[in-house]
Structure 1
Amino acid sequence: MAALEPDTVRTYRQAAEMFGVSERSMGSWWRAYRSGGREALAVRRIRRPGPQELISDEERGTPFQAMADYSPEELLIGGPLWTRAAVRELIRVVTGVVMTERGVGKWLRRHGFTPQRPARRAYQQQEKTVRAWLEEEYPAIAARAKAEKAQVAWADQYGLRSDTAPPGRSWAPKGRTPVARANGRRLRVNVMSDIASRGALWFTVFTGRFTAKVLTGFLDRLARQAGRKVHVITDRHPVHRSKAVRAWLYENTDRIELHLMPGYSPELNHDIATARFKNEYASKT
């Protein structure tokens, strides 16, 4: 304001050009200075108050305790894991507050919750062997299948149990692994499936043990339903390498070929993980 006081400049425009600001700002500053002095020009930073908690401290403990004691399935509001959608419904039922799923996520993080995967056992993987198989053996299999106008498919078998923790994430206090309650009756079935490179799926469900008879019966149906030769890629399960299976494959070479992947690759369940092999290889070719 010193430039205006001794009449160094006569208009707001001249002062604005001198200090490199807008004429409007200069006028506002000058009026503030004339009415309140230099103190009126001090910048006052006013922090905007954030949105208040829609859920009071007293109400907040109820959904947290429910999440600790029950699963959404037990409360009939969702599946076995505490997802944002399930927590949103719990809050609505318990407190009457309606929140968006995004808001629920922010609210949970604010109070020390994080989405966590259930603990799982790590399996050893020989990365060099897997890489060599991916870069050398698999391209050879794919080339043979193309020349023979055959199908390439990835196979695996696994068990489904009623007392197994479901896959996914469940919200829980940070540092405290969530627990998914399971049925104590331990119902179980076994599944063998085969996924082709372009998404075709074949599967069978059985309650007994996985044996050579089960495998060869599945492969026989697979060849019939595919309508052409199939190159099946799978893990090194003992049944896959059994004498009975090798004898069956020898007699059905024109219909089925079995290719075994390296040990511990890429994960315990190949049906889910082998797509990454295919996608990674396809991105390089």
Structure 2
Amino acid sequence: MAARHRGTLGGEPVPLGREQELDLIDVLRGRWPEEFGLGDPLWTRRSLAALVEHRYGLALSSADAGRYLRAWGVWEREPTDRACALCADAVSRWMETDYPAIARSARQHGGEVFWVGRTRLHGVTPAADVLSAVSNRGRMRFMIITPAVDPPLPRDFLLRLPGPNGRTTHVVVDGSWARRDWPRRVSAQIVLHPLPSCERAG
């Protein structure tokens, strides 16, 4: 994870030192971009770079911001990579039988499909989880939260995904949350879909 990086990032000097990165993670924890005067509804590569420049006086390129996000567990992954080995076949079948209709509906409404999951950051005290959403178009959205026992899928995070255009957004949720931990109500523009997972209970 990013908190363990030393010296280089993608072969170039790391703009942030380790202590700065740990501080950045704490600053991001449970907070939205708007609290720092930034316009994005959720954290993105752009808003992350803007925060780094404002707080540490360091210029972080979008590519560097993307490398940090990848180290934090936010990147484009194949659907089968979002499930355990026991679920890979079920996910492959789901991609053939269910997913085409989801993708078609998103195209018809001019919307996007986001893949949502959660990753634990190692080397961070207190513990921190990265909640991420990555779209088929490569858009990355994230927030950092303090983990809890059986945490729910945050409703506020989902409501911010469509952005200001209000277009229908399809959200594929991996096994990080049981169905009982999904919010009961979201806006009409958000359609939730469970990715097959043996870790999903309830």
Length-normalised TM-score, structure 2: 0.51
1:208 and 1:243 map into 2 onto residues whose CA distance is 14
1:263 and 1:244 map into 2 onto residues whose CA distance is 15
Out of 97, 102, 106, the residue aligned to residue 136 of structure 1 is 97
The answer as to whether partners of 2:114 and 2:171 remain within 8 angstroms in 1 is yes
Gaps of 5+ in 1: 1-70, 84-121, 164-185, 266-285
Q: How far apart are residue 257 of structure 1 and its match?
A: 0.8
Tell me the matched-pair count.
123
Aligned to 2:127: 188
What is the DSSP-based 3-state SS (H/G/I as helix, E as strand, rest coil) of the residue aligned with 1:125?
helix
1:248 and 1:196 map into 2 onto residues whose CA distance is 22
Q: How far apart are residue 126 of structure 1 and its match?
A: 3.5
1:231 and 1:72 map into 2 onto residues whose CA distance is 34
Q: How does 1:54-69 map to 2 (within 5 A)?
A: none
1:188 and 1:142 map into 2 onto residues whose CA distance is 35
Higher gyration radius (CA): 1
Q: How far apart are residue 72 of structure 1 and its match?
A: 9.4
Aligned to 1:62: none
2:151 and 2:86 map into 1 onto residues whose CA distance is 26
Length-normalised TM-score, structure 1: 0.37
What is the DSSP-based 3-state SS (H/G/I as helix, E as strand, rest coil) of the residue aligned with 2:142?
strand
Describe the superposition over 1:236-265 as per-residue Cα deviations: whole angstroms up to 9, x where unpaired: 3344x12661x213xx2x211111111169
The answer as to whether partners of 1:124 and 1:264 remain within 8 angstroms in 2 is no
Question: Is 2:151 the counterpart of 1:211?
Answer: yes
Q: How does 1:115-264 map to 2 (within 5 A)?
A: 123-162=84-123, 186-209=125-148, 211-212=151-152, 215-225=154-164, 227-239=166-178, 241-242=179-180, 245=183, 247-249=184-186, 252=187, 254-263=188-197
Alignment root-mean-square deviation, CA: 3.2
Tell me: higher relative CO, structure 1 or 2? Use CA pairs within 8 A at least 6 residues apart: 2
Q: How does 1:103-122 map to 2 (within 5 A)?
A: none
Identity rate of aligned residues, in percent? 28
